[in-house]
Structure 1
Amino acid sequence: MKQLIFLFALLVLGFNLAAKDYTLESPTGKITVKIAVGEKISYEVLLNGKAIIAPSTISMTLDDATSWGIGEKVKKAKTASVSQELKPVVQRKFATIKDEYNQLTLSFKDHSLEVRAYDKGAAYRWVSNKKGDYKVMSEEVNFNFPADHNIWFPEEESFMSHQERVYLRDKLSNVGSDRFCSTGMLVDCGNNVKTYISESGLLDYAGLWLQGSDENANALVGKFPGVVLEEELIRDRDMKPTKYADYIAECSGPRNFPWRVMLITENDADLIQSDLIYQLAPEQLIENTDWIKPGKVAWDWWNANNIYGVDFESGINNQTYKYYIDFASKYGLDYIILDEGWYHLGDVLDVVDDIDIRELVDYGKSKNVDIILWVVWKTLDDKLIEALDQFKAWGVKGIKIDFMQRDDQWMVNFYEKIAKECAKRELLVDFHGAYKPVGLDRAYPNVISYEGVRGLENNKWSELPDPEHNLTLPFIRMVAGPMDYTPGAMINKTKLNFNPVFTEPMSMGTRCHQLGLYVVFESPLQMLADNPSNYYREPECMEFLSAVPSTWDDTKVLEAKVSDYVAIARRSGDTWYVGALTDWDPREMELKLDFLGNGTYTMKVWKDGINADKHAADFAQETVQVTSGSTVKVKMAPGGGWVAIISKK
């Protein structure tokens, strides 16, 4: 285990077991969680003494007609104070994560309730000590707010979803029981306070969704897909449930249930800097991780393999993919991906005639470039062991597995099965068509990225994502974990000039907006979405894209406002990378470089060109000398961006 643990205190307190109220404070006392045990168990969360979550009841009902949290008596209560350092195998924003919290455990007859208080949030979960088999019929999850707050609501129409949502601005009172969303989602509690709601430690259980309440207009209520009893296969990829059970999970023996997470921040920057979902996740479950290699990937599907300026016909063939490998090698990219088309759909081992995987793997090795294969989840599952063994024999380094589109208990277990079987064969996993991260990447660090985000691919057929959407993602979706948004478009358009084109796609916003996404958006397996032929024509941009890392030692959020703007400085080794983004509003910022060390640094800048408001691909460069006392003026066009590399002189 690559983590250093310093247990500063483990304090067990003897509560009066007749007492019905328990109070837990975070390490500095900023967050307080109150638990009331009466006819029903309820919790309340306060920030600096002010209620953020009003008293909210919680319970879990089993098939033996017992209901945890209803009419219970506490047998034992204890608290623990923990301070430790976590060292992620695959870094996302920090090389070391400080993990400090206080925990209250209330023990009942055959289960317990664990509650944690962090200085920037709170979480609780049920823990079972039961033996034998049992079913969870329902789980009562309530988030009652003291007022009718504004929200960012990723509304859904069905449990069958890629969870690639737009975060709608709405109010709690407008979300009744007939509307629901996937998680995480964000609540604006006023006075700059935000509450992000999600879950962590989702294993062998159904995912958490949220709906409104007809009883309390200021509440959000948990909603779960039932166990799937019947399903229908549509094409090779869409396994659509047609009948759900009236229970949400089948269980056996003692187990932990998922954490219900509330991240509470007093400034928007803390949403970006949070690792709370990771901190609450299950500890690492695989031993050898030396083979896990983050990096950047040349991606074929977004631009439909539409390369040009070559003396062969482009398409799904070895010549085209060798062209991708040559491009990746020239610019130091670690991988190329073979997306849809390399096998005959329906049989993952029936490779098309114009593709020779082993030849491509060998050619890539000669160029220090490895191969990742895209697969449909159902087609892979039909021949799982045989296919993964073949991928390993070919020398492939990972899979991009797609179109799961569900988070019922069976599918959640499928995710873990894939992570485990791929780890046995030293294969990376990038989940697409996926629900949001919930900590599986801590348990299985070979799970290196997730989609579950409306990313750049949608611009092939849609005006979303656009810069407005992009400025919500760091504060909501990215809080959960890495997101495979797939940035890097070299054809860039203003709002007026944009037009969806499937085979030669473009992005909304400026060229430097696309470059800025590589600093702002976190994905240890980061794609370069565009056509290598286009990249070859942009050597100035490739100077940045070839240098920017996909993992980070440190992160500093310099400016941030949800849905409006962000500026982030990230460090890799001794070099800092700074990225800024704006929505459709032009914007100017002054960024202090006080995060730098002593001495003079060279700062190379890529910025929106003077005409970027009319021709979005316009950009300019400059190189200046800076110190920790410098302030940099940043000017961005509508939908614009700004990036810099700062290295020691």
Structure 2
Amino acid sequence: MKKLQLLLVWVFVFTCAVNAQQLKSPNGNITMSFALNANGTPTYSLQYKQKDVVKTSKLGLELKDDKKSLLSDFTIADTKTATFDETWKPVWGEVNAIRNHYNELAVTLVQKEIDRKILIRFRLFDEGLGFRYEFPSQKNLTYFVVKEEKTEFAMAGDHTAFWIPGDYDTQEYDYNTTKLSEIRALGEKARTANVSQQGFSPTGVQTSLMMKTNEGLYLNIHEAALLNYPCMHLNLDDRTMTFQSWLTPDAKGDKGYVQVPFNTPWRTVMVSDDARDIVASKMIYNLNEPSKIKDVSWIKPVKYMGVWWEMITGKSTWAYTDDYPTVELGITDYNKAKPNGKHGATTANVKKYIDFAAKNGFDAVLVEGWNVGWEDWFGHLKDYVFDFVTPYPDFNVQELHAYAKAKGIKLIMHHETSSSVRNYERHIDTAYKFMKANGYDAVKSGYVGNILPVGENHYSQWIINHYQYAIEKAADYHIMVNAHEAVRPTGIARTYPNLIGNESARGTEYQAFGGSKPNHVTILPFTRLLGGPMDYTPGIFEMDISKFSPNNNSHVNSTLANQLALYLTLYSPLQMAADMPEHYERFPDAFQFIKDVAVDWDDSKYLEAEPGQYLTVARKAKGTGKWFLGSVNGDNVRTSNITLDFLEKGKKYVATIYADTKETNYKTNPQAYNIRKITVTSKSKLAQFCAAAGGYAISFEEIK
């Protein structure tokens, strides 16, 4: 009997060894192992410097209305390995060249009984793993509906996580910092009110999910190249600390419709013992296809202002009149309505912004609330809300086009869809043609409210396809897109670089809705920004909103120096000076930094990084060689200690430092700052005080 048991054990070990495949990262620090278990279920595991990162985890998909899902009874039909190494140049970005270097393992699996096959492709980079499911053309697997994707991420411990609750409709939450085991207890308390939201589990969280182990490893789970597939969330089994993928359903409850051949998005796991490696990683971009736009000369990074913050804070309104409780486009006569006297998008007000932008070297001005329909746009499941071409009586499109052009300023169009995606697609060609005819080269689109058709979610497959349709259609018209309330980015901007910005997270507007946590901006670079730039809208100088909007008692939880640093730490080729001109005029010396700072870069160096606590980055402006530096701080006062070895050796620079003072307090004294100039070289060291929710910003000028 003992001999038989030993024989069975030996046979099992031998079988596993035959099925096992290993892949190492180019630098050898990360090892990925693949194997089929005894049930023929594909599994993988991940180690970093011989420490477990992902323990043995199952892979596969559960199909709807199919007796045999893609979960088990597989055998390995083929394996192929490859190495890839290239350097490509982004149209815009943190660096002027990106290295794409990985080792690859492609495993073809067959369910022999029914002659179906899938291929799981693994790519291992120095900073992490990407893998996806591929379905080659075949006779017995053509069309199918995904009931659920069963990808697992088995964590090796009860890590500290920086998370927001799983939600089918929004990412606009403050981040929570807890142990994985504490997620359930926080539960619905983490789900603050939003105009459209739908949770699914007390332990559901969203990607990009950042974690830190007790041993000091930094982990991140996300996805790349989200195309024609629902957005992936994660659901935690807090008994085993195992995450399982949880796809966003459609109105029928189905998760995904597939026509073979087909590839899913990549599932990604980043790992390092240095947090700077996570924020500097371009792995998400590298898992996307190269640009499909051949002529990219029309895609330009933009520094802009806008008629926006005054409406967000309640000083002015999007709506033109208070006369109409409901409106119907084409029937409601706005020329007979009495103006409410609070409308922000007037010809005169927009000219004021154009004048200020031109005087201070900005590129563009955004205008919201210019088009008819805002009196009756939200909360009624109304399909035909806006036509995107008809202005209010007090907004002269042609006059403002000519005025802005004469001043060297572009205007940015605003398309709020109110989440009626059918209506937007109905009008999109006409709207884009109208934009081009009137000098608009960029659009800020919005998807506020519950999605129409009724029952759809912001992150379901059909709506993901709509967002992509709008981006590709815009490219046909040479229009850049900044999408708000859309799905969080997954590196699509490599393939369509006209996607120059997204919101898809809790931005500055929430500082006017009651405030965000003081350390919010120290987490975003490790989470939301890994997949693409965010239109965070920084640059608020007046923190006490009641001073100019008496009915709003919100307070911006940030110091003024922190607001300056955000232009570096929250990378975007689309950067807004979000405050109103009169507030900048009160602090001209601090405003100088916003005027000077670049929005496109040749190089970036992350100097300090700890999620939830601080981030310091230096960037070299594209084409000028000028360096700028930003540092943001979390909840606790600290001293930032850095070396300026990113500066060119043998040269001297004047560093202009915009910083908190010892008296700065983000609640009671946020506008306390000092500006000093010092001479520095690449050998210089700097110790800089940072207040809570504070930081500092530096511009460097070479001494010729």
Q: Summarize deviations over 1:238-273 as a string: whole Å, max 9, x none.
A: xxxxxx33x311122312110000011211112211
1:6-45 matches, within 5 Å, as 19-38=18-37, 39-45=40-46
Does the 8 A contact of 2:219 with 2:272 survive in 1? yes
Residue aligned with 2:365, SS: strand
**TM-fit CA distance, 1:103:** 0.4
Which AA in structure 2 matches 1:184? S
* Residue equivalent to 1:622: 676
The answer to whether structure 1 residue 128 and structure 2 residue 128 are counterparts is no
The answer to whether structure 1 residue 636 and structure 2 residue 690 are counterparts is yes
| Correspondence for 2:537 among 486, 497, 505 | 486
Partners of 1:213 and 1:551 in 2: CA distance:
42
Q: Summarize deviations over 1:569-624 as a string: whole Å, max 9, x none.
A: 11113111011121232221222111111211111111123432352101111111
Alpha-carbon spacing, 1:499–1:636, altered in 2? closer, same or farther (3 Å):
farther
TM-score by length of 1: 0.89
Residue aligned with 1:629, SS: coil
**TM-fit CA distance, 1:441:** 0.9
Q: Summarize deviations over 1:13-66 as a string: whole Å, max 9, x none.
A: xxx999311000000110100001232000000001111100000102345444
Which AA in structure 2 matches 1:84? E
Which AA in structure 2 matches 1:564? Q
The answer to whether structure 1 residue 302 and structure 2 residue 309 are counterparts is yes
The answer to whether structure 1 residue 419 and structure 2 residue 471 are counterparts is yes
1:114-193 matches, within 5 Å, as 114-130=121-137, 132-156=142-166, 158-161=167-170, 163-175=171-183, 178-193=202-217
* Residue equivalent to 1:68: 70
Which AA in structure 2 matches 1:270? D
Which AA in structure 2 matches 1:54? K
Which AA in structure 2 matches 1:169? T
1:381-530 matches, within 5 Å, as 381-403=425-447, 406-464=458-516, 466-492=517-543, 506-530=555-579
Partners of 2:145 and 2:634 in 1: CA distance:
47
Partners of 1:18 and 1:52 in 2: CA distance:
21
Residue aligned with 2:651, SS: coil
* Residue equivalent to 1:83: 85
Which AA in structure 2 matches 1:126? Y
Partners of 1:467 and 1:493 in 2: CA distance:
15
* Residue equivalent to 1:271: 278
Partners of 1:286 and 1:135 in 2: CA distance:
32
Does the 8 A contact of 1:17 with 1:75 survive in 2? no
Does the 8 A contact of 2:568 with 2:629 survive in 1? yes
Which AA in structure 1 matches 2:62? T
| Correspondence for 1:380 among 424, 427, 430 | 424
Does the 8 A contact of 1:60 with 1:140 survive in 2? yes
User: What's the Cα RMSD here?
Assistant: 2.4
Residue aligned with 2:566, SS: helix
* Residue equivalent to 1:95: 96
| Correspondence for 2:589 among 540, 550, 564 | 540
Which AA in structure 2 matches 1:200? A
Partners of 1:130 and 1:66 in 2: CA distance:
18
Partners of 2:108 and 2:60 in 1: CA distance:
14
Partners of 1:89 and 1:606 in 2: CA distance:
30
* Residue equivalent to 2:351: 322
Partners of 1:65 and 1:123 in 2: CA distance:
30
Residue aligned with 2:682, SS: coil
Residue aligned with 1:343, SS: coil
Residue aligned with 2:309, SS: coil
Does the 8 A contact of 2:515 with 2:554 survive in 1? no
Does the 8 A contact of 1:142 with 1:219 survive in 2? yes
Partners of 2:584 and 2:607 in 1: CA distance:
30
**Number of paired residues?**
607
Larger relative strand fraction:
1
**TM-fit CA distance, 1:506:** 4.8
Does the 8 A contact of 1:303 with 1:529 survive in 2? no
Which AA in structure 1 matches 2:35? A
Alpha-carbon spacing, 1:258–1:313, altered in 2? closer, same or farther (3 Å):
closer
* Residue equivalent to 1:351: 391
Partners of 1:259 and 1:174 in 2: CA distance:
28
* Residue equivalent to 1:11: none
**TM-fit CA distance, 1:283:** 2.3
Residue aligned with 2:472, SS: helix
Alpha-carbon spacing, 1:577–1:490, altered in 2? closer, same or farther (3 Å):
same
Partners of 1:370 and 1:504 in 2: CA distance:
34
**TM-fit CA distance, 1:633:** 2.1
Residue aligned with 1:406, SS: coil
> Could you list the runs of 5+ residues in structure 1 that have no partner in the other structure?
1-15, 229-243
> Could you list the runs of 5+ residues in structure 2 that have no partner in the other structure?
1-14, 111-116, 185-200, 317-340, 375-384, 449-456
Partners of 1:285 and 1:641 in 2: CA distance:
39
Partners of 1:227 and 1:508 in 2: CA distance:
37
**TM-fit CA distance, 1:500:** 9.2
* Residue equivalent to 2:248: 225
Please identify, of 297-306 and 177-186, the stretch whose mean Cα deviation from structure 2 is larger. Answer: 297-306
Which AA in structure 2 matches 1:401? S
* Residue equivalent to 1:199: 223
Which AA in structure 2 matches 1:72? F
Alpha-carbon spacing, 1:343–1:192, altered in 2? closer, same or farther (3 Å):
farther
The answer to whether structure 1 residue 363 and structure 2 residue 403 are counterparts is yes
Does the 8 A contact of 2:661 with 2:689 survive in 1? no
**TM-fit CA distance, 1:344:** 2.1
**TM-fit CA distance, 1:493:** 5.9
Q: Summarize deviations over 1:333-368 as a string: whole Å, max 9, x none.
A: 111111234332412223211112232222111111
Partners of 2:462 and 2:541 in 1: CA distance:
40
* Residue equivalent to 1:104: 105
Identity rate of aligned residues, in percent? Answer: 27
Alpha-carbon spacing, 1:416–1:322, altered in 2? closer, same or farther (3 Å):
same
Partners of 1:635 and 1:327 in 2: CA distance:
33
Does the 8 A contact of 1:186 with 1:196 survive in 2? yes
Please identify, of 618-627 and 399-408, the stretch whose mean Cα deviation from structure 2 is larger. Answer: 399-408
The answer to whether structure 1 residue 285 and structure 2 residue 308 are counterparts is no
| Correspondence for 1:551 among 596, 600, 609 | 600
TM-score by length of 2: 0.82
Partners of 2:300 and 2:535 in 1: CA distance:
16
Larger relative helix fraction:
2
* Residue equivalent to 1:593: 644
Residue aligned with 1:323, SS: helix
Alpha-carbon spacing, 1:144–1:610, altered in 2? closer, same or farther (3 Å):
closer
Partners of 2:416 and 2:302 in 1: CA distance:
23
Does the 8 A contact of 2:203 with 2:237 survive in 1? no
**TM-fit CA distance, 1:403:** 1.6
* Residue equivalent to 1:234: none
Partners of 1:607 and 1:202 in 2: CA distance:
40
